[in-house]
Amino acid sequence: MSMPPTFGFTQEQVACVCEVLQQGGSIERLGRFLWSLPACEHLHKNESVLKAKAVVAFHRGNFRELYKVLESHQFSPNNHPKLQQLWLKAHYIEAEKLRGRPLGAVGKYRVRRKFPLPRTIWDGEETSYCFREKSRCVLKEWYTHNPYPSPREKRELAEATGLTTTQVSNWFKNRRQRDRAAEAKERENDGANPNGHNPLTSHVNENKSLCESSEDDKSPAATPDHSSTSPAILMPSSSGLPPLHSFAPPPGPSASIIPVSGSDAQSHHHFSMHDGLLNIMTASLVELGS
Amino acid sequence: AGMALPTGESDQDETNRKNPPGKAKGKAKKSDGSQSTDNDLERIFLWDLDETIIIFHSLLTGSFAQKFGKDPATVLNLGLQMEELIFELADTHLFFNDLEECDQVHVDDVASDDNGQDLSNYSFSSDGFSGPSAGGGPGSTSTVQGGVEWMRKLAFRYRRLKEIYNGFKGNVGGLLSPMKRDLLLRLRSEIETITDAWLSTALKSLLLIQGRCMNVLVTTTQLVPALAKVLLYGLGDVFPVENIYSATKIGKESCFERIISRFGNKVTYVVIGDGRDEEFAAKQHNMPFWRISSHGDLISLHQALELDFL
């Protein structure tokens, strides 16, 4: 590490100054300090120095420079949170400028999707959850026993997790949808269909968007439509699947979808899932899938 | 080139004045409208004592002589003489005999057991604080260790310690006999020479810091001997007695934690030491660390302070 003799600080000392000024919020001073550093390559690759550069660039609104710095060097995990914040905030600000007004939660989500965190400041773990770990555990546990809690059970779950019943309902609905999507994708990858394209799943996905937005209080009027159209899509004669109608009581006010592996039932059925009925259902579903 | 900000102007003021475009959410602290006063603490420097500010321990172990190519015998002799002075002061005036077994982390730690009574005529030597512990013979007047009365006497001692420290921090010679006074002056001068003015270099930084923020001492020496060292090395004016912590019992990491609780986390803490414990403790608390392993590091520290980098 060759440093011009006129510059009296070691790399470690430079890093210390960078940290001190950053922590103290003296970003102007930090900028001037960085400017005064000798053009030593080794020094400018120091992580604390790079972090400082990123902070200064952000502070000055120089976002091109910020992104360049963040993507230029593999930062150590303990610096990831702060640098991720810089990346995201900068992108939000830029999006807001384009939009002309502040970003809401959805807008920010879209920004995050459009500009995913670079792996230099992110370990790839999707670990930022909205609900507490404890709550999620309770919900997960319940889901493994019964993915279709009744309204009363949902209320109980809400109380146990500190969430609202709507949040609980949405959690279950999303969970079912994602499980089904994951399973469908697995089937696709398994090469069950030589084309690699399962017509059932693609149709399922289309119709899903119609059904999945349902809440418990979905109007009965909407449901019969689905019931009438879906069997046509899902009952290819070759598949040998028994008509699903036989499993279903008439559509009720609550709408939820039975997860059927490979092919999805588009009928809306409300079941109060007594264990006995559930076991029968499961057994039959297993048969369907094989 | 011209790094120092004009007096009285803080970074926040400058930012607000310039109001750079495109800075919707700057990283700089938003000023709440109030001008930063002298009372606003920005930085607190946490110093290690031995081998950072003073050279003492390494005089005795021979490591200093070895590292800097000095005559081992001379160096050792200086160390031993200094050590004798330190413990003599500690025993004679700072109750070290009484307190060695129950020394505290901080001089105020037992203050809650104090009853505030007047100590001007109090006799520490015969108040029965220390004597034969369990199994004192018939007629023994020693107080039960750990009891309420004993704790109160303990608190008296630390109160008196504070008084002595504050009274003599600018002039420790007043606590010594004329002979010892001369010895101290001679020793300090010789140590300064043989360490290439280590202490006075460190002192430059300490004074600069004292002018604008705060110095805190965190040492692995026990509290009472640490106070003796600070007094004897002439550091009493840069370290208020309440800013001295002994990490012997609880470790540096815990000391740092106590300090953070005391001063809050809006302050920026900077740890200065020769490595080992303090470096690790600093890392645990995400505090920037300035290593002192040579004379040059002390000079660089002073430079950085002068240039307003720290």
- The tens digit of pLDDT for each residue in B53-69 reads 999 999 999 999 998 89
Work out the minimum CA distance from A18 to partner chain B, whole angstroms.
Answer: 9
**Can you tell me whether residue A94 is helix, strand or coil?**
helix
Supply A269's token pair: 């059925």
- The token pair that represents A284 in the structure block: 């039959």
| Digit-coded pLDDT (tens) for A8-29 | 899 999 999 999 999 999 999 9
Check residue A279 and give its pLDDT.
54
- Which chain B residue's Cα is nearest to A35? B1
Instruction: Give, for A186, the enclosing helix (H) or strand (E).
Output: helix A165-189
Name every residue whose Cβ is closer than 8 Å to that of residue B44 and which is 6 or more positions away in sequence: B213, B214, B215, B216, B259, B263, B267, B268, B269, B270
Q: Is the CB of residue A261 less than 8 Å from the CB of residue A282? A: no
Task: Name the residue of chain A whose CA is nearest to B2's CA.
Answer: A32
Model pLDDT, residue A124? 81
Collect all residues of chain B within an 8 Å Cβ-Cβ radius of residue A10: 300
User: Across the interface, which of B14, B25, B297 has its CB nearest the CB of A28?
Assistant: B14
Catalytic residues of B: 48, 50
Q: Which residues in chain A are contacts of B291 at CB distance < 8 A?
A: 12-13
Distance from CA of A28 to the nearest CA of B (A): 7
The pLDDT, as a whole number, for residue B41 is 84
Query: Is the per-residue pLDDT at A280 higher than 50?
Result: yes
> Which residue among A8, A10, A24 sits closest to B42, beta carbon to beta carbon?
A24
pLDDT tens, residue by residue, A38-82: 988 889 999 999 999 999 999 999 999 999 999 999 999 989 999
In chain B, residues with a C-beta closer than 8 Å to the C-beta of A93 are: 22, 24-25
Number of domains in chain A: 1
User: How does pLDDT run across B66-95, given as a tens digit for each residue?
Assistant: 988 999 999 999 999 999 999 999 999 999
Closest CA to A225 of A243, A210, A206: A210
- The first and second tokens of residue A14, run together, are 């430079």
| Domain boundaries, position A143 | 133-188
Contact check, Cβ <8 Å, A93/B27: no
Chain-centroid distance of CA A256 in Å reads 22
What percent of chain B is modeled with pLDDT above 70? 84
Residue with tokens 């015998």: B73
Q: How many domains does chain B have?
A: 1
**Range B125-148 average pLDDT:** 66
- The pLDDT confidence band at residue B130, using thresholds 50, 70 and 90, is confident
pLDDT band at B113 (very low <50, low <70, confident <90, very high): very high
> Is A254 within 8 Å of A218 (Cβ atoms)?
yes
Q: Which residue of B has its CA nearest to A83?
A: B27
Q: How far lies A225's CA from each of A45, A254, A271, B86, in Å?
A: 63, 15, 19, 94
**pLDDT per residue over A225-269, tens digit each?**
444 444 444 444 444 444 444 444 444 444 444 444 444 444 444
pLDDT at residue A192, as a whole number: 57
Residues 11-30 of A with CB under 8 A from B: 12-13, 15-17, 19-21, 23-29
Chains A and B form CB pairs within 8 A to the count of: 84
pTM of the model as a whole: 0.68
* A179-219 confidence digits (pLDDT tens): 999 888 888 887 655 554 555 544 444 444 444 444 444 44
B265 vs B1, more confident = B265
Asked whether residue B127 is assigned to any structural domain, the reply reads no
User: What pLDDT was estimated at residue B8?
Assistant: 44
Average pLDDT over residues B149-163: 95
Supply φ then ψ for residue A166, to 5 degrees. Answer: -60, -45
What is the pairing mode between strands B289-291 and B244-246? unpaired
The pair of structure tokens assigned to A268 is: 């809306």
Contacts 24+ apart (CB under 8 A), B191-198: B191/B55, B191/B59, B191/B78, B191/B82, B194/B70, B194/B74, B194/B75, B194/B78, B195/B55, B195/B64, B195/B68, B196/B68, B196/B295, B198/B54, B198/B55, B198/B295, B198/B298
Residue B237 lies in a domain: yes
| Any domain includes A157 | yes
Residues A124-180 pLDDT 10s: 876 678 888 888 999 999 999 999 999 999 999 999 998 999 999 999 999 999 999
The closest of A158, A89, A153, A73 to A121, measured between CA atoms, is A73
B22 close to A (CB below 8 A): yes
Tokens of B117: 């009574």
| A176 assigned to some structural domain | yes
Assigned domain for B302 exists: yes
Closest chain A C-alpha to B95 CA, distance in angstroms: 39
Residue B150's pLDDT band (cuts 50, 70, 90):
very high
Q: Tell me if B134 is assigned to some domain.
A: no
Q: Which of B45, B167, A144 is nearest to A136 (CA)?
A: A144
Nearest-neighbour CA in chain A from B41: distance (Å): 11
Domain limits at B85? 43-115+157-307
Interchain contact B309–A (C-beta under 8 A): yes
Residue of B5, B27, B288 with shortest CB distance to A55: B27
Residue with tokens 């992108």: A91
Instruction: Decide if A279 is inside a domain.
Output: no
Which of A12, A25, A89 is closest, CB to CB, to B291?
Answer: A12
B3 in any annotated domain:
no
Cα(B3)–Cα(B309) distance, rounded to whole angstroms? 8
3-state class (DSSP) for residue B15: helix
B274 belongs to an annotated ligand binding site: yes
Residue B183 lies in a domain: yes
CA–centroid distance for B129 within its chain = 27
Of A64, A63, A60, A10, residue with least CA distance to A37: A10
Closest CB from A10, A59, A93 relative to B28? A59
pLDDT at A56: 97
pLDDT at A95 over 70: yes
Query: What CATH number corresponds to the domain at position A154?
Result: 1.10.10.60
- A168 lies in a domain? yes
Say if the Cβ atoms of B309 and A24 lie within 8 Å.
Answer: no
B109 is in an annotated binding site: no
**Complex ipTM:** 0.80
The CATH number of residue B259's host domain is 3.40.50.12350
User: Residue A191's pLDDT is what?
Assistant: 67
B268 CB-near residues (< 8 Å, 6+ apart): A20, A23, A24, B42, B43, B44, B288
Whether chain A has a CB inside 8 Å of the CB on B41: the answer is: no
Answer left, alpha or beta for residue A34, where phi above 0 means left and psi between -120 and 50 means alpha. Answer: alpha
pLDDT in tens, B216-261: 999 999 999 999 999 999 999 999 999 999 999 999 999 999 999 9
pLDDT at B143: 74
